[in-house]
Amino acid sequence: MKKKALSLMMAAAMAATLLAGCSSSSNETTAAPAETTTAAATEAKEETKEETKAEEAPETEAEKEEAPAAANDMLSGETGDIAKPGDGAGQKVVLITIDSMDQHWVNMDKGCQQAAEELGCEYKWIAPDVKDDAKQIECVNNAVADGATAILVSANGPDAITAALQEADEAGVKIVQVDSFANYPCVQRLGTDNRSAGKTAGEQVLAALKEKGIEEGKIGIVSVNAATTSTVDRDEGFRSAFEGTAFEILETQYADGDAAKSKDAAANFISQGCVALFGANEGSCVGVGNAVAEEGNSIIAAGMDKSDAVIQLIKDDALICTMAQNPDVMGYEGMYAAITAINGGSVAPEYIDTGVSILTKDVVQ
């Protein structure tokens, strides 16, 4: 199934209340009938390109409630074996994310839940309440102790979690990495080409500046931390869009992905006379947008990730756009990769780019 067709069939954000610390949300599921998933796949293959483009816009509340089940014939370019409905019976898969704050992770959990229902496996989502290496390591250890046969993990940093992953691996747990990667071998990596996404955001900002007749000035970036691979790559990609121009990209300010802290960092950039800003993840993006809104939308700003708050900031002209990832696809396909590996199947390729969409005001209206 093509990336866009698959992502269209995934559910969007769902509300979640998570416990502090290494909190969890669990679901024990059964397999969906093969007839249902086959019908969904056939319908997806019949979509035209025009229909796909039209449906890439954010879903309405009604669409969120009526998201159809998605069959799995894997993403475009998949060359390995494919798990089938019911193949996950008796298995336990745990999703471990960087934190539990962002709607991004809620959407990833939604994708995992749908795949778990089809595969018939037990599934649980656990995450630190804040971005913290020690708490994420604890989550990995807890998943192994709880009998997980596979984990999907989004690493807070490239190295801090590797020893815990090695222990999980040695215990026979299959490892799939999603969104943000650690330096450790795994069954498969699924995520966004973050350098490319960051560069695209930079190009959008550059074009908007030129449209306003601004050819030089300071630009600020608000990000999570200096360790998380995904946001570091977005930062580098964004900067690359301004190479050879007269714009000055200031030193990145880190705010832990917290919207309030990010707003303060963005306000600081604005006080320095910045003409444009970039928020490198959901919380950073919301903080940047809120700071720009308070300044009367006089600053060009773009962000990364999609949430209700981000969409509203675009509608209110505080942000010109955001780069919307497909975390639901990461979770959904990651579950299939995990069950395929548990059952001895071949999972390929080693990395899958799950893509991004540029959401502007014209798209989200």
Each residue's pLDDT tens digit, 8-50: 344 333 333 333 345 555 444 333 333 323 233 333 333 333 3
Q: Which CATH architecture best describes the domain 194-324? A: 3-Layer(aba) Sandwich (3.40)
pLDDT at residue 80, rounded to an integer: 72
List CB contacts of 204: < 8 A, sequence separation 6 or more. 302, 320, 321, 358
pLDDT at residue 50, rounded to an integer: 38
CA distance 45 to 322: 28
Contact assessment for residue 141 and residue 126, using Cβ atoms and an 8 Å cutoff: no
Other Cβ atoms within 10 Å of 179 Cβ, number: 27
Closest to 359 measured CA to CA, from 333, 324, 332: 324
CATH 3.40.50.2300 fits domain 3-191+327-354 = yes
CA distance 236 to 269: 18
Q: Which residues of the chain have pLDDT under 50?
A: 1-21, 26-77
CA 219 from centroid of its chain's CA atoms:
25
C-alpha pair distances (Å), 158 with each of 50, 83, 114, 204: 39, 29, 28, 29
Please give the model's pTM, rounded to 2 decimal places: 0.78
CA distance 180 to 135: 16
pLDDT at residue 331, rounded to an integer: 98
Other Cβ atoms within 10 Å of 33 Cβ, number: 12
Q: Matching CATH topology for 3-191+327-354 and 194-324?
A: yes
C-alpha pair distances (Å), 308 with each of 198, 223, 265, 268, 305: 21, 19, 22, 25, 10
Report domain extents, the chain.
Answer: 3-191+327-354, 194-324
CA angle 279–284–286, rounded 5-degree value: 95
